[in-house]
Structure 1
Amino acid sequence: MEIFQPDLIDQRDKQEKTPLFLAVENDHMACVEYLLDKGADTGIGNKDRETALHKACEQENADVVELLLTHGAGVNRACCRGWTPVHEAVGRNNVEICGMLLKAGANLSQRNSYGITPFFLAAQTGGQEVLTFLMNDGADVNFQMVDGATALFEASKNGHGGVVKLLLAHKADANKPTKTLLLPLHAAAQHGHLEVVNMLLPVTSEERIRESGISPLHLAAQYNEDEILEVLLQAGYDANAPLSPDHSCMYQDRRTTALYFAVANANLDAAEMLLEAGANPNQDTFNPLLVAVRQGNIQMVRLLAEHGADVNARMPNCQLAFPAAVLLCVRYPAMLKLLLDHGCDARACFQCQCASNSHPPAKGLCKDDLGLQKEEPCMQFCEMISAPSVCGWTGPIIDLLLDYVGHVKLCSRLRQLLDSHQDWVGVKDRTRNPPSLRQLCRQQIRQEAGLQRLPLLRTLPLPRRLIRYLHYDE
């Protein structure tokens, strides 16, 4: 004998699930049929406001979906996340259930709590079949979300190559920008989706890229996507394209070039690619060479110097009477020698305003925060090297610098520093005698060549021994 209690048919458990919801959740078709025949309410949701129809779509049970729709289940009911049953079906790329829901009146324009429509969700999740179904049903391929993102942008960001190809075939516009002016190509480059980048390159407007204020090269370099960087350079993207002021001001160092990103990431391969493509190593306010010196990245410093980076670059808002690179590598003689070999001005380190006269109390070192610190009076080399944190390097550093200058006189402070250490007496003695003719000749030749032509000395048809002599390689 059947015992039926109508007042219990829609009873809820602690999760606010009804018997109908539980029957659908556990795939008990006979129970679902029985409960519906007895008048179970299809519109009651659980604590997340998900109905039995949501659950059936989630589980991709087409028979249950059909049964629920036959009994009047609401196709546009939204859960607490704003998802409708059609969102559930689209998210699982289930064309059959989508068709059933659309016939029952599902609204394709309904958005979830994040403003995402079913069509946008299909692109986001890579559902090619359901995307085709929705486009055939009239979905707008160029519909933009609140933030300006299109389905093509989202598919590009997530690397869904098949979806990107499908959308482009249906006339999706690759040049519709987001509210931040980014294009699908930007998204693909940032996330390293090479296949998508190759599809978008022929259909992306260079003018729109310029209007965006940021090149895909910047994003590829920033996120160490070397393959993408190579493809973009081969496609002709400008290695010197600057960030717009709006983008540049987002960084404390006011960087503007893709090369700066590569150097800041210590990405030697990316930096080399950009330099070989013609990147100017002296375009940024804070020279990338100084970034590499500060990192102690001698390979990067060598690469930049060989491509014409200014070894005498100044540090913005930090007034120094000598090259800023010397300040940054005073504890690293090998780095300093490399810079001196490439023309770093050693003589400036000995041009003290006080000379033999007594010096005022030494100032502290400029704080190294990428050169954006408070402006201070011009600091002399002798002031810097006498700071307690670096004065222990005075002898070796001056000894090295003397190899790259002619006759110089030490100021009273430098002499004092050298006198303070018994092992440095020989360094001081070097300045009492004139440099050798060998050294003076080398200095004169290098001076006549000039900074820009120093690297070319190696290409001259001269004996190898002479080339080594000119480059301190003896």
Structure 2
Amino acid sequence: MNHRRESSRMPFLHGFRRIIFEYQPLVDEILECMDPLVQDMMVSPSAVVEDDRRIAALNNLLERNANSVYYQEGVSYSLLKMAEYGVVQAAEALLRGGADITFEDPITYYTSLHIAVMRNKPDMVELLVQEGADINRRDRVHESSPLDLASEEPERLPCLKRLLELGADVNAVDKHGKTALLHALASSDGVQIHNTENIRLLLEGGANVKATTKDGDSVFSYIIFLLGETVGGDEEEVRTIKSFCFQVTQLLMTHGANPSACPTYESLTHLCLKNFRLHFPLLRFLLEFGASYNCTLHGPSCWSGFSIIFEQLCSHLSGSEDDAFSVDLFQKAETVLELMASSSQTIKLPINFEINLSHLSGFHRKRISDLFTSLKQLEHSPPTLKQMCRVSLRQHLRPWPIDEKVKALPLPNLLKKYLLIDPSSSAEAAV
């Protein structure tokens, strides 16, 4: 047992020892020769200019050591270091001198292309790809491609852009079935790491918004997780996370992502409906953008926005008095009901849809009962011409923000008011 464990460590130890005892001296010579260029690059990458003397010295050094037993390993490992520092001229000289572009770091197993991406050296990335590096190569440990690594940090956006321009496969998957887009989403914490622009670039580059991992995670799984992190969190952090989720959701939906999918735990719309008071702005955006208020796979028999809103109203108002909380809750619930009722000509409710009001106080019972009665009447009555026009106009003005487009219409203010849906209006207005 111990022998097997020790044997499994051998590749790591062997590679490390070879660096130290075998080809490290040559690497040290090369690095010392290139040190002025490396220092210039670290101080101001944009100010680095060609230094023919240094490159000539490097070429002489390579020629002197060409017969060394560990020559190729030494120059190949040096290429990894030049990729890290972004010294393109030195990398070119090393490649001409026989450096192996597929050489892996003996400890991390990253190639020079992976390292160039991680250090955000887009010019080095381009050189390596042009010199034959496999742009879609995956490392042996994590199976990350250069594009995966570029997607995971906002600072690596220049490399991400360059990789896409050079033809990287935007929808390639790792061993978990994760694409670069899913890497970008999974790496975003909404507080310190905002991969919004990385996500935008990947989507514009053709990233598949329907991609899922082997565990079933979708593009919205990560948004749902981050929204869950806002419960009871620091107020400022909560605002930052919600803002990030809003922006990314808008990007995803603009490129065809479906937030009303099945199962429910993968549905962003379902989450926002269940927590409509907390996530009201995002829910409003989803509905105005055209998200379904029912499960898009099975319809209202699976889950329905109307039943969820009434369930949440009854649950939150059980034993509650007519206080600020209940007023805010009613306003938001009424607005959501009206948004759903005004999103299509035909209301889709679950079969035998009923609500239980027995545990509510008289005030809340009557108000919820009135809302429910209005909704059932709307379902069973032919839509009025007024309602049909309202639905048609709002559908025509999609996507979000509809309200801004309504305000810009050359219509009388009374008509604009009817087309607008705001928290102070009630669901009866949709009837």
> If the length of structure 2 is used for normalisation, what is the TM-score?
0.58
Matches within 5 A, 1:111-150: 112=20, 117-122=24-29, 126-127=34-35, 129=54, 131-139=58-66, 142-143=72-73, 150=77
| Residue correspondence of structure 1 range 420-439 to structure 2 within 5 A | 420=361, 422=363, 426=367, 428-433=369-374, 434-435=377-378, 437=384, 438-439=386-387
The answer on whether the counterparts of 2:31 and 2:78 sit within 8 Å (CA) in structure 1 is: yes
- Superposed counterparts of 1:219-234, under 5 Å: 219-224=149-154, 225-234=156-165
Q: Which residue of 1 aligns with 2:209?
A: 281
Match of 1:216 among 118, 123, 146: 146
- 1:201 paired with 2:103, answer no
Q: Which amino acid aligns with 2:181?
A: A
Contact 2:114 2:149 survives alignment (8 Å) = yes
* Alignment partners' CA distance in 1, 2:168 and 2:111: 15
Partner-residue secondary structure (3-state), 1:226: helix
Match of 2:170 in 1: 239
* Shift of residue 215, structure 1, vs aligned partner: 2.3
2:93 pairs with 161, 166, 190, which one? 166
Q: What's the Cα RMSD here?
A: 4.8
* Alignment of structure 1 residues 27-38 onto 2, 5 Å: none
Residue type of the partner of 2:337?
Answer: L
The amino acid that maps onto 2:261 is: A
The one-letter code of the counterpart of 2:282 is M
Residue identity in the other structure for 1:339: L
Q: Report deviation, 1:288.
A: 2.5
Q: Mean Cα displacement is larger for which, 135-144 or 187-196?
A: 135-144
Structure 2: segments with no counterpart, 5+ residues: 1-16, 38-53, 228-240, 342-346, 403-407, 422-431
**Separation in structure 2 between the aligned mates of residue 421 and residue 131 of structure 1, nearest angstrom:** 88
How far the C-alpha of 1:267 sits from its partner, in A, is: 2.4
Please report how far the alpha carbon of residue 232 of structure 1 lies from its aligned counterpart in structure 2 after TM superposition. Answer: 1.2
More helix by share: 2
- Opposite residue 122 of structure 2, the aligned amino acid is L
1:256 matched to 2:179? The reply is yes
Q: Which residue of 2 aligns with 1:74?
A: none
Shift of 1:164: 1.3
In structure 2, what is the Cα distance between the partners aligned to 1:175 and 1:354?
Answer: 52
**Residues 420 and 331 (structure 1), Cα distance of their counterparts in 2 relative to 1, 3 Å cut:** farther
| Deviation sequence 1:313-344 (CA, Å, 0-9, x none) | 3468x488973453466512111011112333
1:376 is aligned to: none
CA distance in 2, matches of 1:116, 1:398: 70
How far is the alpha carbon of 1:186 from its aligned partner? 1.2
> What CA deviation, in whole Å up to 9, does each residue of 1:236-272 have, x standing for no partner?
2122222x21xx4xxxxx7433354157243222221
**Match in the other structure for 2:261:** 313
User: 1:223 offset after TM fit, Å?
Assistant: 2.0
1:220: how far off? 1.2
Q: For residues 161 and 322 of structure 1, do their structure 2 counterparts lie closer, same or farther at Cα, with a shift above 3 Å needed?
A: closer
2:101·2:132 contact (CA, 8 Å) conserved in 1?
yes
Tell me the residue number matched to 1:395: 330
- The 3-state SS of whatever aligns with 2:169 is coil
Contact map agreement 2:260 2:293 (CA 8 A) in 1: no
Q: Which residue of 1 aligns with 2:49?
A: none
Does the CA contact (< 8 Å) of 2:117 and 2:149 recur in 1?
Answer: yes
> Within 2, Cα distance between the matches of 1:170 and 1:321?
54
8 Å contact from structure 2 (residues 170, 179) kept in 1: no
- What residue in structure 2 maps to residue 412 of structure 1? 355
Deviations 1:25-54 (A, max 9, x none): xxxxxxxxxxxxxxxxxxxxxxxxxxxxxx
Partner residue of 1:339 out of 286, 289, 312? 286
3-state DSSP of counterpart to 1:200: helix
Q: Deviations over 1:339-390 (max 9, x none)?
A: 11233332469958999xxxxxxxxxxxxxxxxxxxxxxx977666766699
Higher Rg: 1
Q: Secondary structure at the match of 2:104?
A: coil
Contact 1:123–1:154 under 8 Å retained in 2: no
Deviation (angstroms), 1:121: 3.0
Q: Does the 8 A contact of 1:110 with 1:118 survive in 2?
A: no
Conservation of the 8 A alpha-carbon contact between 1:290 and 1:325: no
Is the alpha carbon distance of 1:135 and 1:302 closer, same or farther for their aligned partners in structure 2, counting shifts above 3 Å?
same
2:113/2:133 contact within 8 Å kept: no
Change (3 A) 1:208 1:306: closer
SS at match of 1:192: coil
* Deviation, structure 1 residue 207: 7.2
TM-score, with length taken from structure 1 = 0.53
Matched AA of 1:287: S
User: Which moved further from structure 2: 339-348 or 191-200?
Assistant: 339-348
Q: Secondary structure at the match of 1:171?
A: coil
My pick for the range that moved more, 432-441 or 158-167, is 432-441
Q: Specify whether residues 354 and 341 from structure 1 end up closer, same or farther in structure 2 by C-alpha distance, changes over 3 A only.
A: closer
Give the conservation status (yes or no) of the 8 Å contact 2:30–2:61. no
The aligned amino acid for 2:371 is R
Q: Which residue of 2 aligns with 1:184?
A: 112
Distance 2:92 2:136 in 1: 21
- Distance of 1:320 and 1:227 partners within structure 2: 32
**Residue 275 of structure 2 is aligned to residue 299 of structure 1:** no
Q: Tell me if structure 2 keeps the 8 A contact 1:123–1:155.
A: no
State the alpha-carbon separation in 2 of the partners of residues 321 and 298 from structure 1: 11
Structure 1 Cα separation of the partners of residues 275 and 28 of structure 2: 51
How far apart in 2 are the matches of 1:219 and 1:407? 44
Aligned-pair identity in percent equals 19
